[in-house]
Amino acid sequence: MASHHLPGLDEHFSVPEVHHVAASRPLAWLKQGWQDLMAHPGPSLIYGVLVATMGWLIVTLAAPRPYLVTAAVSGFLLIAPLIATGVYELTRQRANGRTPTFLDSLIGLRRNASAVAQIGIVLALAALAWERISAILLALFYGGEMSTVEGFVRQVLFSGDYTGVVIAWFAGGGLLAALVFSLTVIGMPMLIDRDTDVITAMMTSLRTVADNVPAMLVWAGLIVALTAIGFATLMLGLIVILPWLGHATWCAYQDLLDK
């Protein structure tokens, strides 16, 4: 069943038919994603190790400047869809009856490499913009010490002295994250699967989210919760969580768009 909350898109882009799914459908995506992860754990977990290592390096490098840590973590989350493209390729090849290796997934990414690189630039610019916004907010409203990450977070979040900063930071970050999610949750796997351009992929993703708001809210919440678990385990959980979410996102893409 397709809905048409954004009918104007059809006048300018060749947007595939979008299916409407129930709010509980993301749980099925997670279940199928786990099955796909178990079907080829080796190549999938390599991506998980790469992501966990990258996350650890980002936090470690930002630690001497506590104000950068929150921006760095947020920026990492903004570019995570790009990192997951290899996982999408693993699932795509498996659906076509192959048993892909890690190298196979990298080779497969060359099929629409230009478009993937373009959306990667968009995500990188979003991450850089958020780092600058975070720095400006703190420069304007934060007057405390920044000696350690723990002390900085405790003072900002729990002292009650910087409620305005916290509200502005979460509001700005939430809006940017929602925009990135809406443009990439279907757009990224679509670029891996189809010979299409970046704008069409992002507009298709935006329309899919608009047509399935309850399910997409649940899906976004699950992504945030699982990613938080990954960070809470000192990045170790991301070794499993990121490829799991990558496989599940591919299932979402297959479920929501006409073949």
- Give the start-to-end residue ranges of the domains of the chain: 22-252
- What is the distance between the alpha carbons of residues 243 and 47, in angstroms, rounded to a whole number? 7
- What is the distance between the alpha carbons of residues 258 and 242, in angstroms, rounded to a whole number? 26
3 state SS of 18: strand
Q: Alpha carbon of 111 to those of 47, 189, 204, 234: distances in Å?
A: 19, 13, 20, 35
- What is the distance between the alpha carbons of residues 178 and 206, in angstroms, rounded to a whole number? 10
Full-model pTM: 0.86
95-133 pLDDT, tens digit each: 888 889 999 988 877 888 899 889 888 888 888 888 788
CB 241 within 8 A of CB 3: no
Mean per-residue pLDDT over the chain, rounded = 85
| Residue 143: per-residue pLDDT | 63
Sequence-distant (≥ 6) Cβ neighbours of residue 169 within 8 angstroms: 70, 134, 137
Cβ count within 10 A of residue 4:
12
CB 220 within 8 A of CB 31: no
Here the tokens at position 125 are: 């610019």
**Percentage of the chain exceeding pLDDT 90:** 44
209-229 pLDDT, tens digit each: 999 999 999 999 999 999 889
| Residue 202: per-residue pLDDT | 94
CB 108 within 8 A of CB 88: no
Cβ count within 10 A of residue 174:
10
Phi-psi region at 189: left, alpha or beta (left = phi > 0; alpha = psi -120 to 50) = alpha
139-184 pLDDT, tens digit each: 777 766 666 667 777 777 777 777 877 888 888 888 988 999 999 9
- What is the distance between the alpha carbons of residues 155 and 173, in angstroms, rounded to a whole number? 19
The more confident residue out of 38 and 110 is: 38
Of 97, 76, 83, 4, nearest in space to 44 by CA:
83
- What is the distance between the alpha carbons of residues 208 and 258, in angstroms, rounded to a whole number? 11
